[in-house]
Amino acid sequence: MAAIDKKQEIMAVGKLMVQAHGYNALSFREIAKVVGVKSASVHYHFPTKGDLGAALARRYTEDGVAYLGGLLEDIKNPAVLMQRYIEIFRSVLENENRMCLCGIMAAERAHLPIEVRVEVGAFIDANVAWLTKVVELTGMASGKVAEQQALAIFGALEGAQLIARGRGAVEVYDQMVATYRTTGLMP
């Protein structure tokens, strides 16, 4: 069988770099070393760093959407759905203190090339859309109000992940989520 596509290898290596240290830690020279080519070759596949970043974010969103869509088909209980969603954010944190690829990019968003920013926006939109459905399933709210609550939930979880990561303690994430729940922000 043929060797794995260089393009796929580059994306795999790049994804880990971003999750570990953010977009600006993406290094063409570093990727080249790991993949076993020269940095100019990486530019052949992804002309600019922005192209690579955008490709990573787009792929990540596609995978996430597929996964969340599956959950929505399999599970009808909104509390369980939310629990699963919370666990996604948690498991990424547990995995070498990484962050959701788009979450960390959202944090860097201001100094991101426009093409990456667009993909990160698409990720946020997809998440809020999914959360809106879950909120509606709970009967807590519907329509515009449900969407607003979904956005608030997303923002709160992003913030919790960020701070827990800064502390290097998953327990901080758990604690914050627990408070979000008891205060009624999320089911």
The answer to whether residue 20 forms part of the interface with DNA (CB under 7 A) is: no
* Residue for token pair 């920013």: 117
Could you tell me if 139 and 53 are in contact, meaning their C-beta atoms sit under 8 angstroms apart?
Answer: no
- Residue 12 lies near DNA (rule: CB under 7 A): no
Which does residue 166 bind out of DNA, its own copies, none, counting CB within 5 to 8 angstroms by kind?
Answer: its own copies
Tell me which of 108, 115, 133, 170 binds its own copies, using CB under 8 A: 108
Spatial neighbors of 150 by CB under 8 A, at least 6 apart, are 128, 129, 131, 132, 134, 135
Lay out the site mask for DNA across 28-67 (x = CB under 7 A, - = otherwise). Answer: xxx-x----xxxxx-xxx-xxxx-----------------
Q: Which two tokens stand for residue 54?
A: 């955008």
Minimum gap (Å) between residue 31 Cβ and its own copies: 17
Task: Candidates 25, 40, 118, 129: give the one binding its own copies (CB under 8 A).
Answer: 25
Q: How far is CA 178 from the centre of its chain?
A: 21
CB nearer to its own copies: pick between 18 and 45: 18
Which tokens hold the place of 99?
């962050």
Does residue number 166 form part of the binding site for its own copies (CB under 8 A)? yes
**Pairwise CA distance, residues 11 & 52, whole Å:** 8
Query: What are the helix (H) ranges across the chain?
Result: 6-21, 28-35, 39-45, 49-74, 78-94, 101-108, 114-138, 143-167, 170-182
Task: Compute the least distance from the CB of residue 35 to DNA, in Å.
Answer: 8
Counted residue by residue, the chain has a size of 187
Among residues 42 and 120, whose Cβ is nearest to its own copies? 120
Taking the complex as a whole, the smallest distance from the CB of residue 34 to its own copies amounts, in Å, to 18
Count of residues engaged in binding its own copies, rule: CB under 8 A: 43
Residue 23 is classified by DSSP as: G
User: Which residues contact its own copies by CB under 8 A?
Assistant: 20-22, 24-25, 97, 99, 104, 106-111, 117, 120-121, 124, 148-149, 151-152, 154-160, 162-163, 165-167, 172, 175-176, 178-180, 183-185
